[in-house]
Copies of this chain bind each other. A is one copy, B any other.
Amino acid sequence: MEQICNRISMLRAEMKKQGISACIIPGTDPHASEYLADCWKEREWITGFDGSAGTVVITHTSAALWTDSRYFLQAEKQLEGTDIQLMKQGLLETIEIMPWLKTQLKAGERVGVNAQMFSVDSYASMKTELQMAKIELISIDLLLQVWTIRPEMPSQPFYVFETKYTGKTTLEKLALLRLEMKKEYADTVVISALDDIAWLFNIRGNDVNYNPVVIAYALVESTTATIFVAEEKLTEETKSYFRNEGVTVREYLEIYSVLSQLQSSTTVLVDGAKLNQALFQAIPIGCSIRKAMSPIYKLKSIKNNVEMAGVRCAMQKDAVAMTRFYMWLEANLASGDLSEMSISKILRAFRSEQENFVGESFGTIAGYASHGAIVHYQAVEPTEFKLTTENILLIDSGGHFLDGTTDITRTIALGTPTKQQKIDNTLVLKGHISLGTAKFPSGTRGSQLDILARKALWDLGLNYGHGTGHGVGHLLCVHEGPQSIRMDENPTVLQAGMIISNEPGMYRTNEYGIRIENLLHIIPAERTEFGQFLKFETLTLFPIDQQLIVWDMLSDFEIDWLNNYHQKVYKTISPLLNEVENEWLKLKCTAYNRA
């Protein structure tokens, strides 16, 4: 903690020198990424908090970190011993960053931010908000002189992701993109999101943990396409690939000079939520700016048939690995040696035995007992739990295969569950089934469906503090937009071809956590005089723990759903298993029969 305090002192000295009263450091990078290369983990470096979401604000006399409910417990622990105050986002009583800043500063003072780390939209809204209190927002990289010994930028080579997996060539994708650009009257689009770039150019890499992306920018015009990427990351294979696809390659940071030389008659399509403010400022004043969501963001979210065939294959491999893992867990639990971290390693090992395994799609969340209540829990050496038969175990994990990406959560009882655990799990299951069996008209947004997953909980005054569903990439980010199912509004309409998770949960602080997660595929249902309807196909294929169910709380419809789901799991997965594994799965998939 002393280290953190020293770092903050150094930053404050630099702030004083530059005449800056407050500094805002978000947990992102110039590409608006969720997972960051080490060289960009600025918020983590200055606070010690390593959650995937959170922003710290430091003034000369105070410091506060805002993060959401997934990280309340983790942040509390990691901030212990510092003077950084935890601000719990999403609670009505929590003051937001801008209002808080106004209570800390007076008119005439200046707030400094690194413009690379803020989107155009967030920069503009901060500026406007602060202006009201006559506080100035300054674009300045204060950490440049403070965090001097940084990790290097990743320099590993990346690879071409074959069309047999992607289903579409870069040329085909460029044609689709240009069609969208035309609709928006744009001549040029700047692309800064790493997964958009990986999708468009059919490349994958290892620059950050869990997201197989390549650090790069791109610029697409009506006849040209340029990727900006470090020379050292290129191989003969990728060089010739780009040549063949007609893609120009330039150095990573040359994007700035290329942007600054755009003709003033150019109309540039800018995704204000994603493009960083520094890049935006590089666009000449004379250019027309057309603000719209990145067309790639939308195109990428609709999976094609080749991608979907791959994903279905990945789901089967995942289920085989999960079967072997949980069998192993049951067999070895009595040893008393199993811990959250050790089982995560074993789970990874079972997944890696499967063909075309690329890596984990995120750090496994294995939360036993009260650790399960920490939504994005990552076990660490000194505090991890040993597994015993006293409580329940939540495991949220996923894999990347060349065929596609998986993400699954199951909660199982390691011994005899309590009545409350069974009730909570059954409420979560009711929500999971209600959402998974929804039918809805074309044009529906995720926020309209979210209540289906929560209603059983809300009816009893319960809730969970995270979203219900996120998109999933195809050998790309396990959290992929633009679709989502959450309480918050998201204007994106759910469309056939999208993949989205279904993961309601229930968390009792200091007791346990429950979550049930399957991935869903949006598919057409009937077309009636009231329009086209859509529904979900469940992609994930692994049994749900029946020991944690209060059967009387389920309707006949819900029991039928569960029995049918288990029958489908068994039918699909059993041919891939040996006899012993088969017996195990059969038992877990036994149909329940209401007496």
Q: Which residues of B contact A532 (CB under 8 A)?
A: 92
Query: CB < 8 Å: which of B91, B440, B442, B451 contacts A448?
Result: B451
* CB-based contact A530/B462 at 8 Å: yes
Q: Which residues of B contact A440 (CB under 8 A)?
A: 451, 458
Known A-B contacts A458-B440, A461-B439, A528-B461; A448 and B185 likewise in contact (beta carbons under 8 Å):
no
A489 at the interface (CB under 8 A from B): yes
* CB-based contact B442/A92 at 8 Å: yes
Q: Which residues of B contact A44 (CB under 8 A)?
A: none
- Which of A133, A444, A459 has the most C-beta atoms of chain B within 10 angstroms of its own C-beta? A459
Q: Which partner residue on chain B sits nearest A507 by CB separation?
A: B530
Complex CA gap A151/B525 in Å reads 52
Complex CA gap A132/B183 in Å reads 11
Q: Which residues of B contact A286 (CB under 8 A)?
A: none
Chain A residues 515-529 with CB under 8 Å of chain B are 525-526, 528-529
Q: Which residues of B contact A509 (CB under 8 A)?
A: 529
Size of the chain A interface, CB-CB below 8 angstroms = 38
Q: Which residues of B contact A526 (CB under 8 A)?
A: 461
Query: CB < 8 Å: which of B448, B461, B530 contacts A533?
Result: B461
* CB-based contact B92/A185 at 8 Å: no
Q: Which partner residue on chain B sits nearest A437 by CB separation?
A: B459
Report the copy number of this chain in the oligomer.
2
* CB-based contact B445/A531 at 8 Å: no
* CB-based contact A458/B533 at 8 Å: yes
Q: Which residues of B contact A19 (CB under 8 A)?
A: none
Q: Which partner residue on chain B sits nearest A133 by CB separation?
A: B185
* CB-based contact B525/A461 at 8 Å: yes
* CB-based contact A92/B528 at 8 Å: no
* CB-based contact B531/A447 at 8 Å: no
A363 at the interface (CB under 8 A from B): no
Q: Which residues of B contact A448 (CB under 8 A)?
A: 447-448, 450-451, 487
Could you give, for residues 441-466 of chain A, a 1 whenever the CB lies within 8 Å of some chain B CB and a 0 otherwise? 11111011111100100110111000
- Which of A290, A439, A442, A451 has the most C-beta atoms of chain B within 10 angstroms of its own C-beta? A451
Min CB distance, A507 to chain B, in Å?
Answer: 9
A246 at the interface (CB under 8 A from B): no
Known A-B contacts A92-B531, A447-B447; A458 and B487 likewise in contact (beta carbons under 8 Å):
no
* CB-based contact A458/B443 at 8 Å: no
Complex CA gap A532/B442 in Å reads 33
Complex CA gap A26/B491 in Å reads 25
Query: CB < 8 Å: which of B290, B439, B449, B491 contacts A459?
Result: B439
Q: Can you list 6 A-B contacts (CB < 8 A)?
A: A92-B442, A92-B532, A133-B185, A440-B458, A448-B450, A462-B528
Nearest 8 A/B pairs, CB to CB: A461-B528, A463-B530, A489-B489, A132-B185, A461-B526, A461-B533, A448-B451, A439-B458
Q: Using a CB–CB distance below 8 Å, which chain A residues touch chain B?
A: 91-92, 132-133, 185, 290, 438-445, 447-452, 455, 458-459, 461-463, 487, 489, 491, 509, 525-526, 528-533
Sample of 18 further A-B pairs with CB below 8 A, known A440-B458, A509-B529: A92-B442, A92-B443, A92-B531, A92-B532, A132-B185, A132-B290, A439-B458, A444-B487, A447-B448, A448-B451, A448-B487, A449-B451, A461-B525, A461-B528, A461-B530, A461-B533, A463-B530, A463-B531
